[in-house]
Structure 1
Amino acid sequence: MPPAKPLVLGLVLLLGAAGLWQAYAWYQARYIRAFSDQPTLFSGEPLRLPERLAGPGPIRLVHFWDPACPCNVGNQQHLAELVERFADQGVKFYGVQKPGSQGQLPVTLQAMEPLPALPGSEQLPASPAVAIWDRDGALAYFGPYSEGAVCNSSNSFIEPVLEALRQGRRVTATHTLAVGCFCAWQNAEP
């Protein structure tokens, strides 16, 4: 009987390792698949604010998001921190949901004004993405919130842009090349 114990123990360890590998493969396919090591080019040339928001006014930040994109999880926490920090400092926040998608922003972001698809947003390469217009109504920034697999204030492009605009400095960063966690905005052709 003693030789059976090591055999059973080995079998249990083998089954446990196989289960862990299966769980990791599922997690990677479900949540890490969106992270791409291929650069994504964000070009803001075609983007326009709706007529009622165009022209001089407050600094306007537009959040582009897809409810089905797993990259939104960390991004939305960061966005909630941005809203909390900058909403009382002259920045207006808006959200554009991927056309045809179903979902809602978390409670912490539901104060953002929803917008229909912006003129030019059909050419968006990926989301989550952000566009920021300055007080003169000029597009100052278009691109991702950050580069890399996760987004937070320590690796974000957004805080420095908003701070510069609040201080009256000009920002022109409407073309951004980044590697990160993104989901395609346009639906693939069948």
Structure 2
Amino acid sequence: MPTGTLIDLTQFIALQPDKPVFLHFFNPDCPCSRFNRPHFTALVQRFGHQVNFVIVSLSTKPYSPQQIQKKLALNLPVLANPDLASVCGVYSTPQAVLLDSQHRLYYRGNYNRSRYCSDERTSYAKMALTSLLLTKSGRVSDSRALTAYGCRLPSCQIERD
């Protein structure tokens, strides 16, 4: 999914207009998603007044939105739609997708190089948010940021060369 691609979210959710959107692709059964929880919570606390945050639950188990909100201890919109992962080019969890205020793809990738999201120098999702909100043209381009790790989506088929 190339940067700048328009992602039409209207079929999935109604959001406050003219604000960037941060989609948190989360699987409650994925250890990497669970390790990521404090980092994601910190992003919501820091940037929540400037950005629409949405949790996209991707699991083969039928979790309700309330169960996901409780697991993350956050009162954010929750979607359980694997089609949104496909639209955004997401193939594992956890992954971050950041759209600018016109819903063009600004960043899709990892939260951090460290599985526990503890390395501030490689806090990729935070860097992307900061860059977008400061209207800097520089984007996160580290290959480790853009090649997701974690738990593969149950319905994902990745082609290999």
Relative to the length of structure 1, the TM-score reads 0.62
8 Å Cα contact 1:124-1:186 kept in structure 2: no
Do structure 1's residue 101 and structure 2's residue 61 form an aligned pair? yes
1:157 and 2:124 correspond: yes
Q: Percent identity?
A: 22
Shift of residue 99, structure 1, vs aligned partner: 4.8
Shift in CA distance, 53/172, structure 1 to aligned 2, threshold 3 Å: farther
Partner Cα separation in structure 2 for residue 141 and residue 50 of structure 1:
16
C-alpha RMSD of the superposition? 3.2
CA contact (8 A) 2:58 2:82 kept: no
**What is the rounded CA distance, in whole Å, between the counterparts of 2:118 and 2:37 in structure 1?**
10
Cα distance in 2 for residues equivalent to 1:96 and 1:115 = 5
Decide which of 85, 103, 109 is 1:137's aligned counterpart: 103
- How far has the Cα of 1:124 moved from its partner? 2.7
Provide closer, same or farther for how the CA distance between residues 48 and 137 of structure 1 changes in structure 2, counting only shifts above 3 A: closer
2:69–2:78: 8 Å Cα contact kept in structure 1?
no
Q: Does 1:178 align with 2:147?
A: yes
Report the Cα distance in structure 2 between the residues aligned to 1:152 and 1:183, rounded to whole angstroms.
19
For residues 57 and 153 of structure 1, what CA distance do their matches in structure 2 show? Answer: 31
Letter in 2 for 1:69: C
2:76 equivalent to 1:112: yes
Distance, in Å, in 1 between the alignment partners of 2:20 and 2:146 is: 23
Residue 153 of structure 1 and its aligned partner are, at CA, apart by 6.2
2:18 is paired with a residue whose SS is: coil
CA 177–134 in structure 1, closer or farther in 2 if over 3 Å, else same? closer
Partner of 1:77: 38
Letter in 1 for 2:98: I
**Amino acid of the structure 1 residue aligned with 2:152:** A
Residue 65, structure 1, aligned to residue 26, structure 2: yes
Size of the aligned set, in residue pairs, is 145
